Amino acid sequence: MKILIVKVSALGDILHALPVLSYLHQVVPEVEIDWVVEEPFREVLEGNPFISRIHTVRTRVWRKHPLAGATRREIRVLKQTLRERNYDLVFDIQGNLKSGLVCWLSGVADRIGFERDGLQESVNLLFTTRQVPLRPQDRHITDQYLRVVSVPFGRNFNDMELHTDISTAPADDAAAEVLLSTLSDGLVFLFHCGTTWQTKLWHEAGWVGLGRAVLDRFAESSVLLSWGNDTEKATAAAIAAAIGGRARLLDRYSLKGFTALLKKVDLVVGGDTGPIHIAAAVNTPTVSFYRASDGRRSGPRGDRHVIVQSPLHCTACFRTSCDRDAECRQSIAVEALMRGIERLVG
């Protein structure tokens, strides 16, 4: 059996979808699985032993230049490549216009996706041939993806042990070891302060207070601060300087290099952001906080992870801006995150 997974973006959602690979390989041991993903996120899937082939798209470029010769050529090549693979099933676990178009390009007769309530964009209904209703217990986004892919096989995913991992190269693993060898002998914590939404960020004083509390609580421990762009770098540098002691700003890493480091640290702290989900995918403990987003829907699960949700009545509002943003940031207490850290590594 050949199966195509269409999950093109974003990084966190792709990571949440990784358990579908383990599920499919358990229910169909000889299955071949291909995956369609946006070019910037290809790296997170490369080297995964459960994936036979990765197809990349550049929908952002295509939207900007829909009539360009390069756009038409890339779409034509994608269509030809997908049809040559002769898939038995296509699962659209993205649920919007662009993923629907990819499904249609595949030429596969059996295209399975979400019912209207699970879609990002209702136009997706035009491109799938079977729509799967979500159940009340499918609150977490991973369960929603698993619900869609489980329908043809009738095997309940809740009673299965599903594994995830991200492949890293020996050179990346060695570079991570070199960095860790320069630190003290205690626990290594990684803080990631940045994210895409303002309403998912924490305040700098909170990060500083947490960093100092960690260094005081755990002898010879170190705090590493990561970043994704120049703005985040400046913020992380200021926080590292204010924490002082054994806090260190990291250099820029490739996605695979950063993943190799996340595999080796003792615990990762952050908001609803990619590094938290990468850490969870490689089985590193996490403590994460949620304000505008819902930790019960997108937070890491299991006894190696602690989720702290804002106590405000309007939490999980999914707003990208809010006039109560400062109050909401303050609602995430250093003490709550510290309790989570001590529960996992204390």
Chain segment 256-309, per-residue pLDDT in tens: 999 999 999 999 999 999 999 999 999 999 999 999 999 999 999 999 999 999
Residue 3 CA to its chain's centroid (Å): 22
The CATH classification of domain 2-159, taken from the options 3.40.120.10, 3.30.1480.10, 3.40.50.20, 3.40.50.2000: 3.40.50.2000
Same fold, 2-159 and 170-345: yes
Report whether 46 contacts 54 (CB < 8 A).
Answer: yes
pLDDT for res 196 = 87
Residue 35 has pLDDT above 90, yes or no: yes
| Architecture in CATH of 170-345 | 3-Layer(aba) Sandwich (3.40)
Sign of CA pseudo-dihedral 268, 12, 332, 225: positive
User: For the chain, what are the domain ranges?
Assistant: 2-159, 170-345
pLDDT tens track for 192-248: 999 989 999 999 999 999 999 999 999 999 999 999 999 999 999 999 999 998 999
pLDDT tens track for 108-152: 999 999 999 999 999 999 999 999 999 999 999 999 999 999 999
CB atoms within 10 A of CB 115: 15
Q: In terms of C-beta density within 10 A (0-12 exposed, 13-18 middle, 19 or more buried), how is residue 217 classed?
A: middle
pLDDT tens track for 65-91: 999 999 999 999 999 999 999 999 999
- Cα 133 to Cα 282: distance, rounded to the nearest angstrom: 30
Residue 96 has pLDDT above 90, yes or no: yes
Q: What does pTM read for this prediction?
A: 0.94
Residue 346 has pLDDT above 90, yes or no: no
